[in-house]
A and B are shown apart, each in its own frame.
Chain A
Amino acid sequence: MIFIKLFFEYFKIGLFSIGGGLATLPFIYELQVKYPDWLSTADITNMIAVSESTPGPMGVNMATYVGNMVGGLPGGIVATLGLVSPSIIVIAIVAHFLRKFKDSPIVEAVMSGLRPASLALVCVATVSVARAAILRTELYEQTGVLLDLFDIRHIILAIILFVAMRKIDIHPIWYIVIAAVVGIVFKF
């Protein structure tokens, strides 16, 4: 039964990929080798492009895409449920113990180490977003002109949005919508 197989393959991916959506990618390549009739390498390339250009967590998008390729609409649902099931189980257990020992000084000491580490990892991710958002590394590698490295229009938009965020208290959704419109109008 293809749906049961799909569920368990994705359950395994959910269980063994640690560190977010992109961590599932090596497993998807393995899946392609194991079941060549499920999807082709070209499908994977298209999957990455679509998952990056649509809203939603990368890992979930990719699971829905693969599931759709394999078994249509129900396939997409089954694959995603397989992916998130280990998370739900593991986090429910972790959260239970966290609540139970909430006032324990040991847990608080561990957390005091985790929080700054978590912030640092978000900062690392921010650097890679910055590279995609305001730098033109490909153009710079071709021309070697330092001025080509910085995408002036993108930097101006980033500064305007950032200042606006500090002054005007509106929902982040609006900044995303506005930036999308600016991107289309000014052909970013």
Chain B
Amino acid sequence: MNKYLDLFLTFARIGGFTFGGGYAMLPMITRECVDKKKWATEEEVMDYFAIGQCTPGVIAVNTATFVGGKIAGPLGGFVATIGVIFPSWVIITIIALFIQNFAQYEVVQHALAGITVAVFALVVNAVLKLGKKSVVNVMGLIICLTVFVLSAIVKVPAAWLILLSGVFGLIYTKISNKNAFKSRDEVRDTDQNEKEENVEKEDE
């Protein structure tokens, strides 16, 4: 299948079955883009989600632009975005034109209450799956718990928490591994210097 058409249809499916905020898209995204199409890895999806939360705009759209862009360049990003918003266009337009009191129908409310339960189960399942890939060391655990408390209880805006965590990751890696950000040549040089120093010491 044409890759643009594939992107459009896949993201239209994701948009058409996402209920709630961007996080509700997580199970759909991992199923379609990681398991089925192998367009991205689980780590990449978490990266996109993180960046999507501290850049302007709707998280779902940001993630779609990312995946589409990775698969087929800027046009792919555009096509994936149009795909994810297409079901909204159709459904909301129909409702706005013909069924003004849509949300007040009893059958809609019952269906929605059921869907919310399914979304809850799906998101918990996705969190468990992605958790193993996202928290791989002690630093990850510290960041995860701290951000959870700061967001849920102190209500610090998500964008700040994401930015601070990035800085924290940088500092932590720097402290835990002195040579983390040096190029290979530099590392070799310092290794050699150290060896030479050792040789000199032995000579003495």
A residues at B contact (CB < 8 Å): 14-22, 24, 46, 49-61, 64-65, 68-69, 73, 76-77, 80, 83-84, 86-88, 90-92, 94-95, 98-99, 105-106, 108-127, 129-130, 132-134, 154, 157-158, 161-162, 165-166, 171-173, 175-176, 178-184, 187-188
Contact = CB atoms under 8 A, between A and B. Distances in A.
A14 B57 contact: yes
A24 B21 CA distance: 12
Interface string B104-131: 1001111111111111111111110011
B139 A56 contact: no
A121 B122 contact: no
A99 B76 CA distance: 15
Interface string B126-160: 11001101111001110111111001100001110
Interface in B13-40: 13, 15-28, 31
A84 B57 contact: yes
Contacts of B117: 133-134, 154, 157-158, 161, 179, 183, 188
Interface of B: 13, 15-28, 31, 43, 46-47, 49-62, 65-66, 69-70, 74, 77-78, 81, 84-85, 87-89, 91-93, 95-97, 100-104, 107-127, 130-131, 133-136, 139-141, 143-148, 151-152, 157-159, 161-162, 165-170, 172-174, 180-181
A interface SS class: helix
Given A122-B49, A134-B117, A56 B123 contact: no
Contacts of B87: 55-56
Contact of B57 (A17, A105, A180, A183): A17
Contacts of A173: 13, 17, 28
Residue from A64, A99, A115, A173 whose CB has the most chain B CB atoms within 10 Å:
A115
Contacts of A68: 92-93, 96-97
Nearest to B70: A95
Given A157-B114, A188-B110, A54 B89 contact: no
Given A83-B57, A113-B172, A184-B107, A118 B49 contact: yes
Contact of B92 (A54, A98, A123, A132): A54
Contacts of A61: 88, 92
A116 B58 contact: no
B26 A122 contact: yes
A123 B135 CA distance: 13
Contacts of A60: 15, 58, 60-61, 84-85, 88
